[in-house]
Amino acid sequence: MSLFRQVILSRLVHFTRHASKHEATEMDLSNHGVSIKSLMQKQTRFNWFPPSVHFHAPNKSNSKMTQQQIGFLHPGAMGISLAATAQNTAQNTHWVSQGRSVHTRERAEKFNLTEIQTLAELCEVCSVIVSVCPPHAAGEVAEQVLGCAFKGVYVDANAIAPQRVRQIGQSLTRAGVQFVDGGIIGGPAWEPDSTVLYLSGGEAEQVSSCFAAGPLVAEVIGSEAGKASALKMCYAANSKGTTALLCAVVAAAEAMGVRKELERQWSRHDSDFAQETLSSIQKVTAKAWRFSGEMEEIAATFQSAGLPNGFHLAAAELYERIAHFKGADPTPELEAVLDALLRNETL
């Protein structure tokens, strides 16, 4: 039986066993516009289904790759999407439940990650560990893994400065760990070719092969740790830094009573720019708590390159002012966001 058919049949067995929980019978598949017959007729690549039904044909060129035991620290919104791509590539995925939130457990169970109680156990079971956590926690997570005498491949896929990545890598390498630097550009990887995991380091090719089936794209850009993170920092300096700048611009216009006039002026040149800008200011509140730390990492990156770091330190402060909107449902109104930016409630 081909690997492709094994993957399909294993998924169908799982859905049948859990029909009451997931309602993933043949009728459920048909609701997604998919029939069992059409699935089995596919010989190459599927279109990407919603996260609850993630059938994806493994890349034929990687069908004989060594199956790895991969641990994800931790399966948050981004980490779980990386785990899903690893599963599509026929890898075994694991997570640590100790000390994690109810939301993390729900994500891990939804995507059938194997639960392991402690980090020490994970380090014994897994040959590859992928760290995807908030920037401030990257060093701590690496130290915890180091304390468990892990000897496999460690991928730091966090949004941190390249000099910090190299420090973490040196500590792990001295202890016998094979270190790979990773930089993720894009949102959670649910759509083909929308998100790229850039990799650099001695074992980067091995790590890339673990994600070959997509939808995440894994691309090796060198053998030197720090290169992938440098690219991530430079990209985010523009994308997330620009959003922070626009937050400040609109808040300043609001404070001085000229916001409507500014929006009208923007619309003279681009009819959609004003509305898109206001929408982005509202939406960024969901991730501001995380972006604040990322802006500090970018500031450190710029400083190490001999450039002024003040712009992104200011961006970090702006994001910190709206970090309390984390988890807000519905998305806060624009007036509430501008009020938080101007009040500076963090002081």
Q: Are residues 27 and 100 in the same domain?
A: no
Structural domain ending residue among the three candidates 205, 223, 241: 223
CA distances (Å), origin 303, targets 98, 194, 229, 231, 300: 37, 30, 15, 15, 5
> What range does the domain containing 35 cover?
1-57
Q: Residue 36 in 3-state DSSP? A: helix
Q: Are residues 243 and 162 in the same domain?
A: no
Structural domain tally of the chain? Answer: 3
Q: Residue 330 in 3-state DSSP? A: coil
Question: Who has greater pLDDT, 23 or 288?
Answer: 288
Averaged pLDDT for residues 83-99: 97
- Residue 184 confidence class, pLDDT cut points 50, 70, 90: very high
> CA 5 to CA 58: how far, in whole Å?
10
Tokens 């792990």 -> residue: 172
Q: Are residues 198 and 295 in the same domain?
A: no
Q: 150: domain CATH number? A: 3.40.50.720
Do the Cβ atoms of 46 and 57 come closer than 8 Å?
yes
Averaged pLDDT for residues 171-187: 97
Segment 191-227, tens digit of pLDDT: 999 999 999 999 999 999 999 999 999 999 999 999 9
Q: Are residues 114 and 159 in the same domain?
A: yes
Averaged pLDDT for residues 66-76: 93
Q: Are residues 166 and 213 in the same domain?
A: yes
Name the residue type at position 140.
E
Question: Who has greater pLDDT, 63 or 192?
Answer: 192
Structural domain ending residue among the three candidates 57, 72, 103: 57
Q: Are residues 195 and 269 in the same domain?
A: no
Q: Are residues 211 and 71 in the same domain?
A: yes
Structural domain ending residue among the three candidates 207, 223, 239: 223
Omega of the bond leading into 312 within 30 degrees of 0 (cis): no
Residue 28 burial class via C-beta count within 10 angstroms: exposed 0-12, middle 13-18, buried 19 and up = middle
> CA 33 to CA 29: how far, in whole Å?
7
Q: Are residues 35 and 130 in the same domain?
A: no
> CA 203 to CA 190: how far, in whole Å?
25
Q: Are residues 238 and 329 in the same domain?
A: yes
Q: Which of 37-46, 86-95, 243-252 has the lowest mean pLDDT?
A: 37-46
Strand partners, 115: 95
Q: 236: domain CATH number? A: 1.10.1040.10
Q: Are residues 104 and 219 in the same domain?
A: yes
Q: Are residues 84 and 211 in the same domain?
A: yes
CA distances (Å), origin 154, targets 94, 106, 160, 336: 14, 25, 15, 41
Segment 153-176, tens digit of pLDDT: 999 999 999 999 999 999 999 999
Do the Cβ atoms of 180 and 155 come closer than 8 Å?
yes
Q: Are residues 204 and 69 in the same domain?
A: yes
Q: Is the pLDDT of residue 116 over 90?
A: yes
